[in-house]
Every structure is written in structure tokens, then in C-alpha cells.
A and B are shown apart, each in its own frame.
Chain A
Amino acid sequence: MTPHLEEELTASLRHRAERQVDTSRLIAGATARGQQLVYRRRATVAGLSLAVVLLGGGATPLAVGALGDSGRQGRADRVAASPEAAPAAAPTSDPGPRTVPMLPSAPLPDAARRVVGTDPAALHFAVEGVDTQVRAIQWHSGSDLEFMRMERLDGGLSWVTLSANQDVLAKEIRIRTGDYADAGTDETVDVRGVRGTLRTTPTNEGTSYLLSWQPEPGLYAHAHARAATEDEVWWLVDRLRLGIMQRCVVPFAPAKLPDGLKLTGCTVETSALAEPSAPAEGFRSAEITFSGKVPGQVRLAMRAGELKGSPETTVGGRPGLALPRPAPALSLYDDRGVMLDLSCTEGFTDAVLYEIGENLRVAAKLGDLAAWLPPVP
């Protein structure tokens, strides 16, 4: 390795590691989680002791029965699968009632199905019953495609991507699957009555299953899961619903847009778990992007955090910092314990950020999606 490259590696790592850390929040979060661990261990020990007392030798047959009910079955019938086929068993490995906050949804007229990817303020599909079967969901709409990424209860990731543009979808898949895009074994399968391709790729992080098909003429879909079996992918297919529109709502939005700006993307991530580093319980992150009269984009996002040091500016009544970057950026503090980050690529001036910042609204309840706002006025 050349010294030049070595220096650049060190500089890159140091630059990337620059960030403020709130130690008080860190201590509080770690202590709370640590106490939960202690309580959970005590409860487990107590529960096991009780079970032994109550069940005695009968515990073994009961446990075997429970495993049999939740065991996964192979997908030997996939060639004969039809729209009427019964949904596959829910792939759960972590019991307990958990619900992920969901975007508001409404029935979608058939005529509107072809607009997938063209309206960044909406998704034109849903995965039925997913809110109780995963621990976190990320939705995205924009740039001609829509996707939903799910963190499963077993810790793995699954996602569904839809687009009316086959090239856009192919590029997205290449980005998401990285080195594995062209590897693996392809198998022709029947997906709810239409022909599809299931690509199976063993990787050092588990087996990757990528299913490609056309759920409707002119609409392309990919379902992907890195999992122990392909059941995870078929579970998604069985629950994919195209007749539903989900509105993309966010906990912050400009009340008025600068002249020439238009929404290009909306990304929201919610979680069933209380996460100390999240802005609010149930809400993990949100981001909206805009394009304008010049190439590039304007980005607006929210994160948990507090203003460090003295504010350099006040925008829309919120104190903040103007960050020294090649392209302008503003970081504003909202008194609910969150930072609003506004940034843009080169070509835009900071005036556009100040104008958005002056007109920025924040939802009354950060963790309540019913109180969230549409991304554009």
C-alpha cells in the first residue's frame, strides 16, 4: 500500500468518525437496557422453575408439540401455486405481541396501479399483516421505484421492490445485492400464476433468495430475503397486495416550498422496539428529498440529538449550526430532543435551506404516525 493511500485511509476514517456523542444519553440508555437484561434473566429463571414444578415430566411432550406447530414446510407446491393459494406459515422465531407503526393506507383504484414509483408521496402496495411479523420497516418511494425493507423477528432482512421501469429495478437490485448480483443458481418458478425466476446464492452471511416476476403487465417486482430457507420470500409473495395505497407521511415537513423545488423521494423507518437512539418510540428515521432547477438534491432528515455548543444561527425559531461542508448544510434543534438536518448538493445555495427552515413544521407527537404530516404542503 502506498503511503499516499495509507494517509487517505486514515484521513477518511478520522473524518467519518467525527461526531458528537451524548454520554448522558448513552449512560441512561445502557443502564436501562442493562436493567432490562437483569429483570429478563430473573423472570426466565423464575418461569423455568415454575414450569418444572407445574409440569414435571409432562414438559417434554408439550415442547415437542409446540415446535411441530411452528415448524416450516418446504415449498414443494410452488409450481402449482395460484392466487387462491393459502398464505404460507408466518416465519416467526421470536414470540410476543409486537406491532410496527404503519403508514396510513387506503384502497387503490385499479387504474392507479401503473403509477408505481411516480408519486414520491405514496406507495402503491402493501404487505398484509406485516406489522406483527417484523420488528422494523423502512418504506421508500421515489426515483421510479418503491420498496419496503423489513427486519424480521429472526434478525434477518427481507425486502420487496416494485417499479414500472425494468432497468431502474435491475440497477437497484445490483446495488442492493452487491457482489452477488450475477452469482447464484436460477430456477424458473410459478409465482401466483405467472412465470418468475428464483435466484439462490449461497453467501458467507447466509443464503440469498431473490425472486423476480411481473405481478401485473408492465409492473416488475423483486422479493429478496437472506434466510435459512426460501420460505421467507414466498411469505412476502403470498402477502403482497397491489390494491392498497400507503401514504408517505413524515414527522416534519416544510409548510411552504421554495420556488422550483419538487418532492423526489420519501423514506420512513418505524420500529416495534423502543430504541434509545431513536427520536421517538416507534419512529426510527425519516428523510425527504427534493430536486430543483439545478442538478442535485435538497435533503431534509430528523435524528435524535441535542445542540452542542452555542448556536450560530436561529432559523424558524430554532437554534442551529451552519455546518462547514463543500455544500451548505443546516442543523436545527427542535426542543423535543431532535435535530433537523437540512443539506443540499453543490449547485444549490444556503438560501434554499434557510427558506425551508423558516417554514418547517414538526408533528405534535413524533411517535404517532396519525399526527404526522404529508411531505409537501
Chain B
Amino acid sequence: MMATFEEYVHARGPALVRLASLLTGDDHRADDLVQEVLAKVYVRWRRICETDRPDLYVRRMLVNAHTSWWRRLSNREIAVAEVRERPSRDDHAQNSVERDEMWRLVQTLPPRQRAVLVLRYYEDLDDASIADVLDCSPVTVRTTAMRALSTLRERYPHRSRERTVSRA
């Protein structure tokens, strides 16, 4: 039996919003992006339901909408403007600072690379599934992930060294 649009959003809406939050780096933009995509889903719901994997189709719409929005508005400007250093006094605070720094670095990645990391490390999808969402080959996914991770590895190590030193 075909699920209604409302049932689908009830079941998958929160996950889509969280995915959009990670893609955009901005909760307000994420809400708007998901609304925009779901509005298109609403119009095409019957046809989307007829596909084998409607959720895959919707996630692909979401990633594509984000990529085109990013091209138009370049949210890199917004993301970098929010950078601020936070002091830390204990491990809990240290963890929070590290998460912030990692998140800041993720936001500096191009949208495609960020999407691959989010789908792999947050959505826990394998490369084949990510390739389905991004409409590309698994090889492309692996290459994109490798580039993204390489960038993170170049920019992130100093935090690990700082922590090692402070605990010594």
C-alpha cells in the first residue's frame, strides 16, 4: 500500500532536516532547503512512490538542491564568518572545542566533498549507496572522499598534537 506524503514526512522528515543541517551548516537554511525539496516531492509524490527507493530519490533531490543553492549563494562566506575560538578547561570542554574545530573544517569543504563525508560518516552509507544518492560511480565517491579526508588530515593534525602535549 502506498504511503501518504504526510506519513513519509512523519517518518523521514527529521532525518532529512538533520542531513540538510550538516550539508548547509545552518539550521535555518536547512529548514528552508528541506521545505523547498519536500514541496517538489509533494507535487510528484505519486511518481516518486512508484520508484523502488523513494527515500533515495528524495535524498538525491536534497543533495542536488543544496549543491545548486551553494553555488548560487556560496554559504562558505557565512560559515567562515561564524568561526570563533573557544577556551577549554577540561576534557569535556576540550572535546567540545575539537568537535567545533572539526565541524568548522568540514564546512570549508566544497559541497560535493562535504556531502560524501556526511553520507558516509553520519548517514553511515556504503560507497555504493552514496553513489546512488549522488548519481555518480562508487569510484567517484571514493576519490571525492579521499580528497576530502586528505584536506581534513592536512588541516586538523595540530589539534591532536596539542592534546597529546597537554596530557603529557
Contact = CB atoms under 8 A, between A and B. Distances in A.
A360 interface: no
B81 A284 contact: no
A26 interface: yes
Interface stretch (A16-24, A212-220, A231-239): A16-24
Interface stretch (B25-33, B49-57, B126-134, B135-143): B25-33
Given A26-B38, A27-B13, A33-B42, 15 more contacts: A16-B99, A17-B21, A17-B122, A21-B13, A23-B10, A30-B9, A31-B42, A33-B38, A34-B42, A34-B43, A37-B43, A175-B83, A226-B74, A326-B96, A346-B86
A21 B14 contact: yes
Interface residues of B, number: 59
A285 interface: yes
A13 B153 CA distance: 16
A39 to B, nearest CB: 11
A206 interface: yes
Contacts of B73: 151, 155-157
B21 A9 contact: no
A233 to B, nearest CB: 15
Nearest to A159: B77
8 contacts: A1-B153, A5-B152, A12-B102, A17-B122, A23-B10, A30-B42, A31-B42, A303-B27
- Give the interface residue-count category, chain A: 35 or more
Interface string B96-138: 1011101100101010000001100110000000000000000
Nearest to B83: A175
The dominant DSSP class at the A interface is helix
Interface of A: 1-2, 4-6, 8-17, 19, 21, 23, 26-27, 29-38, 151, 155-157, 175-178, 203-206, 226, 275-278, 284-285, 303, 325-326, 345-347
Contact of A17 (B22, B108, B152): B22
B43 A155 contact: no
A10 B123 CA distance: 10
Contact of B38 (A34, A177, A275, A284): A34
